[in-house]
Structure 1
Amino acid sequence: MKGVILAGGRGTRLRPVTYVLNKHILPVYDKPMIFYPVETLLSGGIDEIMVISTPRDIGGYIQLLEEEYDANFSYRVQKEPGGIAHALSLAEEFVEDTAAVILGDNVILENLAEEFRSFEEEDSGAKIFLNEVDEPKRYGVAELNENGEIDSLIEKPSSPETNNAVIGLYLYRADVFERIRELEPSDRGEYEITDVNKGYLQDDDLEFARIEGEWFDVGTPEGLFKASQCVRKKRTN
């Protein structure tokens, strides 16, 4: 399994600091934000990792990550933001069979090696991860039926009927790139990863798991603060 970290975007929720800095190098307590998704992949047994970021920032990641980790990193530039699915499409030549795709602003303080291993042994095309949140309208959400199965996926619903957010970690087989090529841009003008996952759901080829440990979306000031508090508590206990 290969790892793909998506670390581009404009960081609008963290402005004004992100006018001049890529958000993924902001500190979550004592480490740059991007170190956390790297460590999620490494702890899951993945040491071949592609980082996808902006033309301005990719050089800094090369220096930062190569100095810190003994892993096989490669890099691609996303020239303009076009959505998560568009960024993932840049990793097509890198991914051979399966991939763990993680957003650079997701901090997951849980070892997911078993989830990664089981996906490789299963025959499902994709796997997503859910976590209950206080503001589900900021996320893609999964509505479950009475059998506890995913009934529908909705991107940033205005009046969500569930608080099951789809977090920024996805497991895919290589056919995901064929599905991305078939996408049409959303009303936001982006290629949405939720539309990719909907395709798997319609084909009855989508699995899910819940994150049992701490998870933070650190793309907001509040998320960044809470994650730093949690990490500090773990480091000092």
Structure 2
Amino acid sequence: MKIIVPMAGRGSRLRPHTLTVPKPLIPIAGKPIVHRLVEDIAKVLNEPIDEIAFIIGEDFGEKVEVDLREIAGQLGAKGTIYYQDKPMGTGHAIMCAADSLNGPAVVAYADTLFRADFKLDPSADAVIWVKQVEDPSQYGVVQLNDNNEITALVEKPEEEVSDLAVIGIYYFKKVEVLKEHLQSVLENNILRGGEYQINDGILGMMTSGNVFKTGQIDEWMDCGNKTVTVDTNSRMLQFLKEDGNSLVSDTVTLTNSEIIEPCYIGENVVLENTTVGPNVSLGDNCKLTDVTIKNSLVQHNTVIKNAKLNNAMIGSHAVYNGDFTEISIGDYSKLE
């Protein structure tokens, strides 16, 4: 089994945090988004992952590539790096990894986290993972026939089609079939909004008789902007606590301080006269003095003093000393 991860966009809606780190490598509950994504996919598939192919931007840098290969290695898989030089759509991004498009594979966009417990239908040629939503008109949804097979993908339907929204994760029993149809999309210059889309490749597969089924997830968490990313961090912490995970490092130093779970606290964090939690993630080597913080996400090597924070997102190597509450500070920033 392979996992194909298009992630060439840096994530402009999450700036300033993505100016120095691509969005899929932003930590959620102490682990990069893309790391949690591929781990959760591996759990659902319940079979060995041979290769994870990452499609990234050419400007992401060597460290990002090293980190991604390490993520693949932790799952016992080969990490392969491909580049998408221009933002030309999901179909184009997938085809940038053409050399890896063979055999069974999952294609997953690296800005979504999920919780699920289902078995892949062995009778299906492909599976599209979906989530039941209250307002289908805000999403792309699947249309089903009487056999619960997917017959169409409808983007933001004005009339009732279904309430099953596409979350951006797909399984293909033979991903080379998708490759064949996406190649046709590229050769025939089939564009939507100036881009080549995966949906046109999927439509070609359906027209050729391939059977698509749904895999319905329990929870769908977005990481599109600061507010929803902080919320996703809080929800993930709750799930991890329910699963019985240990989230607070043994190397934390507490002086007249309290941790209200659930929280993720990384290595060598120092807390002085501070209350942390609930729903806070602190990366490695942070130091907080005279701080009250809840429902927030702080990366590593950051110093915070004299602050009362809620719904805050602070990057790495930042220094903050102030009286504000709801903030968004990128890497290497200083407010003193």
Bucket of the pairwise TM-score, normalised by the shorter protein: 0.7 to 0.9
State the partner residue of 2:99. Answer: 93
**Deviation, structure 1 residue 72:** 1.4
3-state DSSP of counterpart to 1:210: strand
State the partner residue of 1:56. Answer: 59
3-state DSSP of counterpart to 1:182: helix
1:219 and 2:224 matched: yes
- C-alpha separation between the residues in 2 aligned to 1:12 and 1:159? 28
**Root-mean-square deviation over aligned CA pairs:** 2.5
Q: Name structure 1 gaps, 5 residues minimum.
A: none
Structure in which a larger fraction of residues adopt helix? 1
**Deviation, structure 1 residue 108:** 2.2
1:180 and 2:179 matched: no
TM-score, normalised to structure 1's length?
Answer: 0.83
8 Å CA contact 1:52–1:75 kept in 2: the answer is: yes
- C-alpha separation between the residues in 1 aligned to 2:211 and 2:12? 31
1:77 and 2:83 matched: yes
Alignment of 1:75-224 (within 5 A): 75-110=81-116, 114-115=119-120, 118-119=121-122, 122=123, 124-134=124-134, 136-145=136-145, 148-155=148-155, 157=156, 159=158, 161=160, 162-172=162-172, 173=174, 174-183=176-185, 184-224=189-229
1:4 and 2:4 matched: yes
**Deviation, structure 1 residue 20:** 4.3
- C-alpha separation between the residues in 2 aligned to 1:7 and 1:164? 24
Higher RCO (CA-CA < 8 Å; seq separation 6+)? 1
Number of residues of Structure 1 aligned to a counterpart in Structure 2: 230
Q: Where in structure 1 do 4 or more consecutive aligned residues deviate above 6 Å? A: none
1:14 and 2:20 matched: no
**Deviation, structure 1 residue 88:** 0.8
Identity %: 28
TM-score, normalised to structure 2's length?
Answer: 0.61
Largest Rg, 1 or 2? 2
3-state DSSP of counterpart to 1:34: helix
**Deviation, structure 1 residue 144:** 3.2
> C-alpha offsets along residues 144-169 of structure 1, whole Å, 9 cap, x if unaligned?
356644343123x2635343211111
Q: Name structure 2 gaps, 5 residues minimum.
A: 243-336
State the partner residue of 2:240. Answer: 235
3-state DSSP of counterpart to 1:5: strand
Q: Which amino acid aligns with 2:86?
A: E
1:50–1:130 CA distance, 2 compared to 1 (3 A): same
1:180–1:223 CA distance, 2 compared to 1 (3 A): same
